[in-house]
Structure 1
Amino acid sequence: MKKIVSMMLAGMLLVAGLMTGCAQSGGGGAQSTVAPAATAKVLKVGAAVVPHAEILEFIKPKLRSEGVDLQVVVMDDEAQLNPALNDKQIDANYFQHVPYLDSVSKEKGYNFTVATKVHIEPIGFYSQKIKSADEIKVGSTIAIPNNPSNEYRALVLLENKGLLKLKAGISNYQATPRDIIDNPKQLKFVEVEAPQLTRVLPDVNGAVINTNYILDAKIDPASALFRENAESPYANIVVVRQGDENRDEIKKLDKALRSPEVKQFIQDTYKGAVVPAF
């Protein structure tokens, strides 16, 4: 009796082994297009929360099917994304525009290059105290970003609205209120860390704020009293260390970010608050 039971168990194990072997060989079924985790190349990209990280999350499945394991790295302080790239903690970052990159590269000596440009976030003027630009009164206090490139960008936006005039010959995308030569409404400027601008908005007459911070604070971008148009030169870019732009994973990242699917995703998701730059 024991011998019969042993033979039955052996037979069952043999059948199970054959079935497992068939399953592993594919058994004629559909083959997965996703690269095994062990063979996928890890690509770490540092990003701002909105919209950058959201766009990167959207293309993760596409890159996975092409053998790239995209890992999105979000830091509390975006100013650390360039040092992290320089120190090889990440392979690329996606949060800045060229004027900002140029200003910090000159200061820090970074040897970075632009891999591709993806989108524009039109900077805008917001207020909780007035409803139109015509209501900006003499002596109003306006908050603006305090980093060089975005400060210039904010002042140019106000200049284009006829609220001030900057001195001629500014060619390095850097200006401060000291470069204002005509201020008919005697506006007072408060220079604030860009991520804090939404928090000081209730305390000032108005503020010029980047759209990513507006989205992050759950403020409707359509509530801007005025903002840049789609022709803005401040396209947000993917940045890598010099030479890495030729890496296969980076090329796949660039192609995925500039796909028709991403363009549609940006248009459907952000309703004009974020504009494709391709």
Structure 2
Amino acid sequence: MLLKKLLPLLLLPVLGMAQAHAADAAHTITIGVSPGPYGDMVKHAIAPQMEKKGYEVKVREFSDYIQPNLALANKSIDANLFQNRRYLNRFSADKGLKLAEVITVPTASMGFYSNKIHSLNELKKGDIVTLPNDPSNLSRSLDFLQKYGVIKVNPDVAVTKASLKDITENPHGVVFKPLEAAQLPRAMGGVTGSLINANFALSAGMKLSDAIQLDVLPEDIKNMIVVRAEDINKPFAQDLKAAVESPEFEALFDAPDSEFASFQKPEWMKARHK
């Protein structure tokens, strides 16, 4: 009888510890990023605002553009920051994932880099140009090359679905070679030029100012914080949104000596100053 009376009292500390652990776990969020500046953006611009609200923010780096969304879908991470709306929509449709945009953030631009030429007009027949091989960034690269006069793409093909077979004009006679995005900086020595996503260029020690041409980003290819669709209205997702909308976050992109100074701001951020 005595044991039965004491048992609930003995269990109280254990239950209290379990509840405290659950509460701590609920305030720990893991954000997936690809190599480059977005891990720093989370650590230096987002995490400090989240920590004020009692969160512990962890960053998990992935080496490609595939795993961050798969990890988010299988609940290995809580959010990710690496992709634009075009990529999210296409990847989600292809994989049958239910992911949702929280907010767009300032974004570094894709650029054309070369150690051999100084202008896109110098491209000539047989020159090899590498570009990302994943479908979304490949189509984005073709849109870039068309925008700056290197090629023409079949206008009947959606800009988000164009592939090499949709090139209708290639007046310079360039040879295009798709590679895994992370490999592009390392392959620069053997090619005339390369279209490289900013995160991989920066993580390889390159400067955005080194690019022959940087893209002017439309809104749908600026990067976003993304969560599972089921979590979009949960407090942590709304707190992430509030962190990005904070004056402290924006201040890091206005400082001339900041690593983020050359990032292109999203339209919602520009609109606050009109």
* TM-score, length basis structure 1: 0.81
| RMSD of Structure 2 on Structure 1 (CA) | 1.9
Which secondary structure does the structure 2 equivalent of 1:170 belong to?
A: coil
Structure 2 residue corresponding to 1:87, chosen from 53, 71, 74: 74
Alignment correspondent of 1:222: 209
Letter in 1 for 2:205: K
- CA–CA separation in structure 2 for the residues paired with 1:254 and 1:173: 27
Alignment correspondent of 2:35: 49
1:259 to partner: Cα distance: 2.3
Structure 1 residue corresponding to 2:110, chosen from 103, 107, 123: 123
- Can you give the 5+ residue segments of structure 2 that lack an aligned partner in the other structure? 1-22, 270-274
- CA–CA separation in structure 2 for the residues paired with 1:137 and 1:172: 25
1:170 to partner: Cα distance: 2.2
Which secondary structure does the structure 2 equivalent of 1:93 belong to?
A: strand
Alignment correspondent of 1:275: 264
- Asked if residue 142 in structure 1 is aligned to residue 132 in structure 2, the reply is no
Alignment correspondent of 1:20: none
- CA–CA separation in structure 2 for the residues paired with 1:146 and 1:275: 24
Alignment correspondent of 1:101: 88
Which stretch of structure 1 is more off in the superposition, 147-156 or 263-272?
263-272
Which secondary structure does the structure 2 equivalent of 1:186 belong to?
A: coil
Number of matched pairs = 242
1:271 to partner: Cα distance: 5.5
- Asked if residue 206 in structure 1 is aligned to residue 193 in structure 2, the reply is yes
1:38 to partner: Cα distance: 4.6
Which stretch of structure 1 is more off in the superposition, 216-225 or 67-76?
67-76
Deviations 1:29-59 (A, max 9, x none): xxxxxxxx95971111111232211111113
Structure 2 residue corresponding to 1:154, chosen from 112, 136, 141: 141
- CA–CA separation in structure 2 for the residues paired with 1:129 and 1:226: 14
Letter in 2 for 1:275: Q
Which secondary structure does the structure 1 equivalent of 2:220 belong to?
A: coil
1:88 to partner: Cα distance: 0.7
Which secondary structure does the structure 2 equivalent of 1:157 belong to?
A: helix
Alignment correspondent of 1:254: 241
Which stretch of structure 1 is more off in the superposition, 179-188 or 262-271?
262-271
Which structure's CA Rg is the greater one? 1
Letter in 2 for 1:243: E
1:191 to partner: Cα distance: 0.5
- CA–CA separation in structure 1 for the residues paired with 2:54 and 2:164: 49
Distance 1:120 1:255, change over 3 A: same
Alignment correspondent of 1:168: 155
Q: How does 1:21-60 map to 2 (within 5 A)?
A: 38=24, 41-58=27-44, 59-60=46-47
Which secondary structure does the structure 2 equivalent of 1:113 belong to?
A: strand
Contact 2:63 2:182 in 1 (8 A): no
- CA–CA separation in structure 2 for the residues paired with 1:243 and 1:38: 21
Which stretch of structure 1 is more off in the superposition, 92-101 or 258-267?
258-267
1:200 to partner: Cα distance: 0.8
Contact 2:79 2:226 in 1 (8 A): yes
Distance 1:137 1:116, change over 3 A: same
1:137 to partner: Cα distance: 1.7
- CA–CA separation in structure 2 for the residues paired with 1:224 and 1:263: 25
Q: Percent identity?
A: 31
1:214 to partner: Cα distance: 0.8
- CA–CA separation in structure 2 for the residues paired with 1:39 and 1:147: 35
Contact 1:123 1:211 in 2 (8 A): yes
Which secondary structure does the structure 1 equivalent of 2:36 belong to?
A: helix
Which secondary structure does the structure 2 equivalent of 1:208 belong to?
A: strand
Contact 2:87 2:136 in 1 (8 A): yes
Alignment correspondent of 2:17: none
Alignment correspondent of 2:223: 236
1:61 to partner: Cα distance: 2.5
Which stretch of structure 1 is more off in the superposition, 219-228 or 128-137?
128-137
Contact 1:125 1:206 in 2 (8 A): yes
Deviations 1:119-140 (A, max 9, x none): 2221111001112222212221
1:70 to partner: Cα distance: 1.4
Which secondary structure does the structure 2 equivalent of 1:122 belong to?
A: coil
- CA–CA separation in structure 1 for the residues paired with 2:226 and 2:88: 9
